[in-house]
Amino acid sequence: MRLDDIDWEILDALQADGRAGYRELGRRIGLSAPAVAARVHKLEAAGIVSGYRAVVDPERLGLRVEAFVQLAVSGSPDADERVIEAARGIPEILDVWRVTGRETYLLRVVVPVVHDLERVLRPLWQHGETITSAVLSAPLEDRPITREMAEAAAAAVERAR
């Protein structure tokens, strides 16, 4: 789907405030609520807008320690399935990414105190070696996808052809 200026204005507004209603988006962009709704539905149907969610601050809920865990797994695809299943059973593991490099997975974990990391990591140790890094601060996070980024990606794809 090719995006025009209005589509990008809608995406920018939704990334800043996913709760904005069609009327509010229309007011910001200069369209009617039905016109905005139609465009948002097209963006959703194309998979460009894939969902809406509340962003919950773990620290405000007592989960004061955030860490990234690198997990190196050697073995078969069955081993991968076992790791993913183990991670699903540990609610403190918020995200699991399959990555390149020596480590196979990168996990994002939240716990109340550093001591609890051992409890979370223990079931993973049977699958491979872990390297854990506690987050000190997050000076830059949850940045929006911009038009410039998408245009640069499209240009790179075109150059590769």
Q: What is the pLDDT of residues 60-118, one digit of tens each?
A: 999 999 999 999 998 778 888 999 999 999 999 999 999 999 999 999 999 999 999 99
Quote the Cα angle for 54-70-114, to 5°.
70
Contact 14, 6 (CB under 8 A): no
Q: Tell whether pTM > 0.95.
A: no
Domain assignment present for residue 157? The answer is no
How confident is the model at residue 76, as a pLDDT? 78
Please tell me whether residues 98 and 118 are part of one structural domain.
yes
- Domain of residue 75, CATH code: 3.30.70.920
Q: Give the residue from 121, 99, 125 showing the smallest Cα distance to 109.
A: 121
Domain assignment present for residue 67? The answer is yes
Please tell me whether residues 65 and 7 are part of one structural domain.
no
Domain assignment present for residue 91? The answer is yes
According to DSSP, residue 60 is labeled G
Please tell me whether residues 10 and 76 are part of one structural domain.
no
Total count of domains within the chain: 2
According to DSSP, residue 144 is labeled P
Domain of residue 5: give its range. 1-55
